[in-house]
Structure formats: structure tokens, C-alpha cells
Amino acid sequence: MIKSLTVVAALGLVTGGAALAHHGWGSYDAAHPVTVSGPIQTLKYENPHALLTVRAKDNNKVWTVTLAPTFRMDSRGATEKVVSVGKTVTAYGYPSMTDQSEMRAEWIQIDGKKYELR
């Protein structure tokens, strides 16, 4: 009885731990931060995390940048108006270890103002 219980409980923990990380900071490569600068192509100002895409000025690569929950964005001044399509953004963050074109932003800078997102 106890054995099968342990198996059931362990199943949940193991599948959770072994599965590829996606949303936590753990699945982003903090050892190799990147800075991407360019015009904002699209913005999804939505929970659980706001997202934008930016076309990098230097190599035209389009990055999906995962931002913060919108409540935090808003309270730090990075409102939907500030982070609008067409503006130039500089995003500093960590590339995803599973998606070559996604990064999670530690901070972004728009119109000369820096917004910490973590």
C-alpha cells in the first residue's frame, strides 16, 4: 500500500522535474545574457506574461521577448502605451534554452528609460 502510494506521489514530482522547463527562469541561459535592440514589431500586453517581438537592428533576427506579469509592468511604468509597437526597445535578458528566438527580459529600455522587470 505504502509503496504504491509513494509511486503515485513520486510520479507527479518526477514528471514535473523531468519535463522541459518553459516558464520558470530556470530554462533561460543566465550565463549568456543577450542585449537586443530594435523596433517593436508586436506586443501582447496580457497575463500571465506580456510578450513583445523585436527585430534586432544589427542582424534583423526577430526575437520574442518574454516580459513580466502586466500588473508588475504597469506598476513599474512600463504601461501598454509606453511599450507600444513601432518604438525602439533595448531588451537585456537571457536566451531560452529550448527556443532559439525567445528570451526573457531582465530589463527593457524605451525612450531612454529603463524598466526592471524581474
SS3 string, 36-83, reads EEEEEEEEECCCCCCEEEEECCCCCCEEEEECCCHHHHHHCCCCCCCC
| One of 9, 30, 62, 85 touching other proteins (CB under 8 A) | 9
State yes or no: residue 112 binds other proteins (CB under 8 A).
Answer: no
| One of 30, 34, 42, 46 touching other proteins (CB under 8 A) | 46
Task: Tell me the C-alpha distance between 46 and 83, whole Å.
Answer: 12
Stretch that binds other proteins, among 8-16, 32-40, 58-66, 107-115 (CB under 8 A): 8-16
| One of 41, 74, 90, 109 touching other proteins (CB under 8 A) | 74
In the complex, minimum distance from the CB of residue 19 to other proteins, in angstroms, rounded to a whole number: 4
